[in-house]
Structure 1
Amino acid sequence: MNRIRRTAYVALSAFGCIVFIGLCAILTGAPLLFPSLGPTAFLVFASPDAPGASPRNTVLGHLAGVLAGLTGLAATGLLTASPDLTHPSWARVGAAALALGVTCAAMAALGTPHPPAGATTLIIALGLLHTPSQILAVLIGVLLIALLAVLINKLFGVPYPWWRGVAETSAVVVSGDSG
């Protein structure tokens, strides 16, 4: 695929995913559309062969982000607190830092890197989406984008895994760590 076609494919595929998920959000009144789906959409269409773009890493990475975000909120007593982006407390900073650290550790340990999941964990830990119905909507949004990525990439003949990418490893190797 030449550069112009590739650019159009990436842009229109990401656009279509967000429109579809946005329409579902409008029809259901659920927050299915949230910021970290943007970089996920870019990744799955611009670099579909990257390990972090696989459906497995997309779903498990965002799931780790959600669970770690909730862990950060619970550990700091902020599960029911309102978001406070303009005047954050030390508890909120702690929730965000803990959540991001746990998300990174989980993705590294499980061999499921998906960088946009770091944004998902902050969305949760900062209290922007934290109720049970909002958490369910986030997870449904992730499943939708993973499914759409498979369908669109397969439809247009772009090599893309059904679940796990060929190049994925079982763990992330840190520089200087031989195993």
Structure 2
Amino acid sequence: MTRARRAAYVALSSFGCIVFIGLCAILSGAPLLFPSLGPTAFLVFATPQAPGASPRNTVFGHLAGVLAGLTGLAATGLLTAAPDLTHPSWPRIGAAAIALGLTCAAMAALDIPHPPAGATTLIIALGLLHTVPQVIAVLVGVVLIALLAVLINKLFGVPYPWWRFLEEARSPVASRR
């Protein structure tokens, strides 16, 4: 694929995913569309064979980010606090630092690298999306983009794993570990 065709594919696929998820957000009234879906879209369409782009890493990386973000909020007593990005406080900094550290540790320990999950954990830890309905919406948005990536990449013949560990389990290299 030429560089221009690849750029067009990445742009149009990312555009289509965000429009679809945005439409679902409008229809549901839920915050399904949030900032870290942007880098996720880039990963799954620009580098579909990269470990961080796999559906498994996408879903579990963001899940780790959400859980770590909630843990950071709970540990600092901010679970029910309103977000405030304009007046940093030590508890808010602590929530963000705890959340990011836990997210990075979980992704490394579980071998599920997905860099955009670091943004998701900060979105949660900074209180931007932290209620139960909002957290569920974030996870639904992540599942939607993972499913759309599988569908779009397969539809256009772009090699993309269905679920990373299934491909690894079938490879001869995986059996030598």
TM-score by length of 1: 0.92
1:9 aligns with 2:9: yes
1:148 aligns with 2:168: no
Measure the CA separation in 1 of the matches of 2:165 and 2:51.
6
Corresponding residue of 1:175: none
Corresponding residue of 1:103: 103
Corresponding residue of 1:84: 84
Gaps of 5+ in 2: 170-177
CA RMSD in angstroms comes to: 1.3
For residue 77 of structure 1, report the CA deviation from its aligned partner: 0.3
Instruction: Kindly indicate whether the alpha-carbon contact (under 8 Å) linking 1:123 and 1:129 is maintained by their aligned counterparts in 2.
Output: yes
Instruction: Kindly indicate whether the alpha-carbon contact (under 8 Å) linking 2:161 and 2:167 is maintained by their aligned counterparts in 1.
Output: no
Measure the CA separation in 1 of the matches of 2:75 and 2:91.
9
Gaps of 5+ in 1: 170-179
The 1:120/1:168 distance shift into structure 2, 3 A limit, reads farther
Count, aligned residues: 169
Report which of the two has the higher share of helix. 2
Corresponding residue of 1:29: 29
Q: Tell me the alpha carbon deviations over residues 72-127 of structure 1, each in whole angstroms, 9 at most, x when there is no partner.
A: 00000000000010001100000000000000000000000000000000000000
Write the letter of the residue equivalent to 2:28.
T
Query: Identical aligned pairs, as a percentage?
Result: 85
Write the letter of the residue equivalent to 2:115.
P
For residue 166 of structure 1, report the CA deviation from its aligned partner: 7.8
Instruction: Kindly indicate whether the alpha-carbon contact (under 8 Å) linking 2:154 and 2:160 is maintained by their aligned counterparts in 1.
Output: yes
Corresponding residue of 2:44: 44
Write the letter of the residue equivalent to 1:85.
L
Q: Tell me the alpha carbon deviations over residues 1-41 of structure 1, each in whole angstroms, 9 at most, x when there is no partner.
A: 11111000000000000000000000010000000000000
Range 13-22 or range 157-166, more displaced: 157-166
For residue 167 of structure 1, report the CA deviation from its aligned partner: 8.3
